[in-house]
């Protein structure tokens, strides 16, 4: 079963839903955003469907769906609790402590942020909302001076983003302070099959402009990335699966891999793959439809999918809005598109409501790789124009 909710549904996802006739919850967003040819079912029908599936095999493009699940089945239901173990950052750290004992963490109420000292933590750290999304309010802090700067803005920054999402997706009530996890960062989309074994559908390398950069600005994938990282990520997710029964659960895992090849989780997001349907990079790069594999409970034939893709790199650039625009200002998409030599598609976002201008999917070759650095260093405000 599928739950489609705000903020965004892609044409790739919509096309799949119409052609597959997978059951789709008829909520307000889906009813307005997905073709009427889709197989809509009522909330009561959706509840019965999930009961028959033992509350498994439900996918959503958005964590907004969590509120429907808790309202329908209760916050204490097995499915809601399973989601909460991953969504609540402190609970996730506690549940995986036996696997990663070197990761320390503590919860901090927002009311204590102003009086929390760097010295009381005693080492560099990451701070982020206990319930968060799109890296809002996430900061790396290495010095007392950096902490003073972060203290002044972190609650306000998180609250500003939280206004656009339900409390189940992001809120600024509580933060988590945790160890800095070193290594290269990756994101993987996967689900757990009927044997509770992971099926990996997507692997993305998360590139940053610096150690302090915590943004979601750029993700890339290639045949080499998938070939090098597929097996160790499967092993990592197998260890996670050993902690519970996650059959039929889709996840978006964010991890770091150090120089020794050890994998540690940053976080694992339940019920979905990469947000805002950005998981579609697998479709644009390899012709892999992640929704189809999840719905049909099948594994990708990676050897076939990657054949002939050896020299290509596929990238997804997230163009964030740093500040609110006035009614007299607009984002110049035409000028932005000229940055790319091989733009696959540009997804324009409602930047009046959400802190994003667009998602850009593009391809680079060895000769055009500088476009990746260009995206990382780019100031999106250079494309803001007066409406007149």
**Could you tell me the pLDDT band of residue 169, with boundaries at 50, 70 and 90?**
low
Give percent of the chain with pLDDT exceeding 90: 71
Residue 272: per-residue pLDDT = 95
Look at residue 157 and tell me whether its pLDDT is greater than 80.
no
The whole-angstrom separation of Cα 104 and Cα 108 is: 13
pLDDT, tens only, 68-119: 999 999 999 999 999 999 988 889 999 999 999 999 998 888 888 888 888 8
Which residue is associated with the tokens 């991953």? Answer: 86
In this prediction the pTM is 0.90
Residue 206: per-residue pLDDT = 95
Domain limits of the chain? 2-86, 104-178, 184-386
37-51, 199-213, 266-280, range with the lowest pLDDT: 199-213
Distances (CA, A) of 345 to 211, 327, 333, 337: 29, 27, 12, 9
| Pairing label, strands 105-109, 2-3 | unpaired
Q: Do domains 104-178 and 184-386 have the same CATH topology?
A: no
Under CATH, which number does the domain 104-178 receive? 3.30.1490.20
Which residue is associated with the tokens 């909710």? Answer: 5
Q: Where are the alpha helices (DSSP H) in 163-253?
A: 223-241
- Partnered with residue 256 across adjacent β-strands are 185, 264
Residue 162: per-residue pLDDT = 46
38-47, 190-199, 211-220, 335-344, range with the lowest pLDDT: 211-220
Q: Nearest-CA neighbor of 281 among 355, 347, 367?
A: 347
Residue 166: per-residue pLDDT = 52
| Pairing label, strands 263-270, 250-257 | antiparallel
Q: Nearest-CA neighbor of 350 among 340, 358, 342?
A: 358
Q: Nearest-CA neighbor of 257 among 278, 284, 232, 277?
A: 232
Under CATH, which number does the domain 184-386 receive? 3.30.470.20
- Residue 212 or 275, more confident: 275
- Partnered with residue 206 across adjacent β-strands are 185, 219
Contacts of residue 238, Cβ cutoff 8 Å, sequence gap at least 6: 197, 198
The whole-angstrom separation of Cα 253 and Cα 269 is: 6
Mean pLDDT of 269-292: 96
Residue 343: per-residue pLDDT = 97
Look at residue 7 and tell me whether its pLDDT is greater than 80.
yes
Mean pLDDT of the chain, nearest integer: 91
């Amino acid at each position: 079963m599928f739950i489609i909710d705000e903020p965004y549904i892609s044409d790739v996802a919509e096309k799949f839903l119409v052609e597959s006739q997978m059951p789709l919850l008829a909520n307000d967003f889906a009813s307005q955003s997905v073709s009427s040819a889709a197989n809509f079912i009522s909330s009561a029908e959706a509840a019965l469907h999930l009961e028959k599936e033992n509350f498994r095999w439900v996918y959503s493009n958005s964590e907004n769906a969590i509120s429907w699940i808790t309202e329908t089945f209760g916050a204490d239901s097995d499915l809601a609790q399973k989601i909460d173990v991953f969504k609540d950052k402190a609970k996730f750290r506690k549940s995986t402590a036996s696997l990663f004992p070197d990761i320390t963490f503590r919860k901090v109420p927002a009311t204590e942020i102003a009086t929390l000292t760097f010295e009381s933590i005693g080492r560099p750290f990451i701070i982020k909302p206990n319930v968060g999304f799109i890296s809002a309010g996430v900061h790396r802090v290495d010095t007392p001076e950096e902490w003073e700067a972060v203290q002044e803005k972190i609650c306000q920054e998180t609250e500003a983003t939280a206004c656009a999402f339900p409390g189940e997706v992001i809120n600024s009530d509580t933060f988590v302070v945790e160890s800095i996890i070193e290594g290269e960062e990756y994101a993987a989309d996967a689900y757990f099959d009927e044997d509770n074994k992971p099926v990996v559908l997507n692997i993305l390398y998360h590139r940053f402009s610096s150690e302090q950069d915590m943004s979601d600005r750029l993700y890339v994938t290639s045949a080499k990335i998938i070939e090098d990282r597929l097996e160790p990520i499967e092993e990592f997710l197998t260890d996670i699966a050993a902690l519970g029964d996650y059959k039929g659960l889709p996840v978006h895992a964010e991890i770091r891999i150090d120089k020794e090849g050890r994998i540690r989780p940053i976080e694992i997001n339940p019920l979905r793959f990469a947000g805002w349907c950005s998981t579609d990079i697998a479709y644009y790069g390899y012709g892999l439809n992640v929704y189809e594999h999840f719905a049909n409970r099948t594994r990708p034939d990676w050897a076939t999918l990657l054949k002939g893709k050896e020299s290509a790199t596929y990238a997804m650039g997230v163009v964030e809005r740093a500040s609110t625009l006035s009614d007299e200002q607009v984002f110049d998409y035409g000028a932005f598109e000229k940055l790319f030599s091989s733009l696959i598609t540009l997804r324009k976002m409602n930047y009046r409501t959400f802190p994003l201008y667009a998602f850009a999917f593009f391809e680079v070759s060895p000769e055009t790789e500088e476009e990746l650095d260009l995206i990382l260093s780019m100031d999106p405000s250079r494309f803001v124009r007066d409406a007149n």
